[in-house]
Structure 1
Amino acid sequence: MDPVTHGLIGASASQSVVSKEQLRPAAIIGLVSAMLADLDVFITDPADPLLNIELHRQFSHSFVFIPVGALIASGLLWYFFRNKMSFKKLYALSFLGYATAGITDTFTSYGTKLFWPFLDSRFSWDLISVFDPLFSAVILGLVIFTHYKKNPKISWFVWPWIALYLSFAVLQQQRGKSVAKTIAKQQNHQIERLVVKPTLGNQLLWSIRYEAQDSLYANGVRLGLDAKVYSGESAPLLNWQQQYQQFKGTTLYEDIRRFDKLSEGYLIQHPDKNNIIGDGRYAMLPTDMSPLWGIKVDTSQPGKHLPFKTFREVTPAVKDAYLDMLLGK
């Protein structure tokens, strides 16, 4: 989830339990605390590019780290609020704000390690995109209205709004899964794995990716009153263990294994870049098989870590195709 929405939800959590006199400091404390978890993006090692994405949404988003994260937030904020409240209250408000970070990230895709270090699995509902303007705008409006009316109870309406929006997203996702099954049946495919998630910034246009017969198939579907399907591309899933078997035991092989785990086994060869292995779940368009990110393999240097590359250029052609599908053209 984008940092601003994280902060707004954290602010709502903190300001919902204070008096009207402390609304502003509580909102700031909740906002900062909720955004603090995402500072894990700055943990990098130039010698090991995959470390950054491995640690993102890991320990800092885990339930077990919430007390520690709240303590860090409290320590950072104590100087600014020491004359307004006790450290105990500051910590409690920081705890509320920080606690929202990991949970709300599960609403999106990619996955969050909520139970690290006891469980290494990433949890993801695939219900909203990392940035959803409608979802965020209502929360922002409620936070502002809470301050305008100086009534903490108004911020309580953030939670019914989140529940309502997620319920609608679940309905849309189930519709998308139903469409996916229909598409697969028409193609005589037996779905082995399925990912259905919204495209950026909306709940109308959804991405369908399913595995069948050792290949990954992509389709877009606009879930308005009626479902409109946009047929997409397909690509064979990469059998990297076989293709790179001769490099077993090297840094190159281990990095591909790490990236395969991060991508939940949805590895494909980039259609336009022979030396790029990409995460087949993500592309600029729901119908496209050009991955948003991947690792660059150089077999001439098997002892070196593999570079992590992103491919997020929004060309006019990509923009027009996305808008056409979003508008149902």
Structure 2
Amino acid sequence: MDSLTQIALGSAVTVAVMGRRTATWKAALWGAVAGTLPDLDALIDHGDAVLNMVLHRAESHALLYLSVGAPLLALLVSRIHRETALFPRWWLALWLALITHPLLDTLTIYGTQLLLPFTHHPYAVGSLFIIDPLYTVPLLVGVIAALVARHPATGRRWNLAGLALSTLYIGWSLWAQHAVTQAAQTSLRQQGVAAERLLVTPTPFNTVLWRVVAVTPTHYHEGYRSLLDATPTMRWTAHERGADLMAEHAAVAPVARLAAFTQGLYRLQVTPAGRLRITDLRMGQEPDYVFNFDLGPARAPGSNPSVQVSQRPDLGSALPWLWQRLRGNDLPAPR
């Protein structure tokens, strides 16, 4: 999730666990720190754009490593504030603030390596978009209320209410994802598409309109489903994945890395300039994707560091379409 959300979640969790044992501002401050720490790995440059992507949300997001670091952070905090008697409570509060960060990230589609060093599998539920105000705002309101309330007990109740609402929203997102998955599977069967993989993830800033990608050995089919759609019919567009290029370049290091990280949700193309380009199909929408990578000349890809080539949609047409499609109007996606 975005940094503001992780700060709000870390603060809310720590304020809730510390309660009246320490000043609310202390709990909120150190919760924000703990909620931010895992994402500092984004500052590391590995010298290659694909490596930078697949090594984000790795060791710094692993539950084991965060659990080892939690008592060290708690010891530091309890000594700074001369609250050594509260060390066990600080340990619990900061441990929860640390591990809820990657657990929340797992609900997005990016991929979080929760169980390092035992497995590099990138866990990704995909029921939340990376920025979702309906999840973040209750947390922010609760934390701010806890900080400014004249009566601390009232502020703590507001904070708990914010945590409860945001948690219920997660439950809603999982239910909505399941409902859309069922609708997409039915639609694909009716159209005779046998998908190897199915991606169901929300469009930006909401959990009402969902993007669906169905992958076959040679193609990927993109469709959209709003919970407000009046009919079960889904509109699909088919696109080539570059199956021949995948077979030819499967052993090229950045191709193999991204194939594993996206769990097969990628595309290979040769550009008009003769460059091999790999695309993560999970984040973006046709034809604009955040994670495109230039892998070098198609005849010798991977010989030089990969370079990210992001494509951004025209917001002037994308946002009005998003609003209209969210409301159940069956419009073709902007191109």
Unaligned ranges ≥5, structure 1:
none
Check conservation: 1:278, 1:294, Cα contact below 8 A: yes
Check conservation: 1:217, 1:234, Cα contact below 8 A: yes
Count of aligned positions:
317
1:297 is paired with a residue of what secondary structure?
Answer: strand
Check conservation: 1:219, 1:229, Cα contact below 8 A: no
1:124 is paired with a residue of what secondary structure?
Answer: coil
1:312 is paired with a residue of what secondary structure?
Answer: coil
Residue of structure 2 equivalent to 1:298: 296
Answering whether residue 266 of structure 2 is matched by residue 267 of structure 1, we say yes
How high is the sequence identity, in percent, across the aligned residues? 22
| 1:156-196 CA distance string (max 9 Å, x none) | 33443233212211221122112212321232112221111
1:221 is paired with a residue of what secondary structure?
Answer: strand
Residue of structure 2 equivalent to 1:242: 247
Residue of structure 2 equivalent to 1:176: 180
TM-score of the superposed pair, with normalisation by structure 2: 0.84
TM-score of the superposed pair, with normalisation by structure 1: 0.86
Deviates more, 1:176-185 or 1:193-202: 176-185
Answering whether residue 211 of structure 2 is matched by residue 200 of structure 1, we say no
CA spacing shift, 1:317–1:19, aligned 2, 3 Å:
closer
Check conservation: 1:218, 1:289, Cα contact below 8 A: no
| 1:181-233 CA distance string (max 9 Å, x none) | 23212321122211111111101110111123531100011112746766243
CA distance in 1 between partners of 2:96 and 2:249 (Å)? 47
CA distance in 1 between partners of 2:317 and 2:19 (Å)? 52
The correspondence of residues 73-112 of structure 1 with structure 2, limited to 5 A, is 73=73, 82-83=80-81, 85-86=83-84, 88=87, 90-112=90-112
Offset, 1:25: 0.3
CA distance in 1 between partners of 2:100 and 2:218 (Å)? 38
| 1:114-161 CA distance string (max 9 Å, x none) | 111101111122111111101111111122223314123543334432
CA spacing shift, 1:110–1:241, aligned 2, 3 Å:
same
CA distance in 2 between partners of 1:42 and 1:52 (Å)? 9
Offset, 1:55: 1.6
Answering whether residue 263 of structure 2 is matched by residue 258 of structure 1, we say no
Check conservation: 1:209, 1:219, Cα contact below 8 A: yes
Unaligned ranges ≥5, structure 2:
330-335
| 1:56-98 CA distance string (max 9 Å, x none) | 11111111111344367558867xx724533835554432321
CA distance in 2 between partners of 1:8 and 1:43 (Å)? 24
Deviates more, 1:266-275 or 1:132-141: 266-275
Check conservation: 1:210, 1:218, Cα contact below 8 A: yes
CA distance in 1 between partners of 2:17 and 2:158 (Å)? 11
CA distance in 2 between partners of 1:131 and 1:316 (Å)? 19
Check conservation: 1:234, 1:289, Cα contact below 8 A: no
| 1:291-313 CA distance string (max 9 Å, x none) | 32221132265422221222224
Please provide the CA RMSD for this pair. Answer: 2.7
Answering whether residue 8 of structure 2 is matched by residue 4 of structure 1, we say no
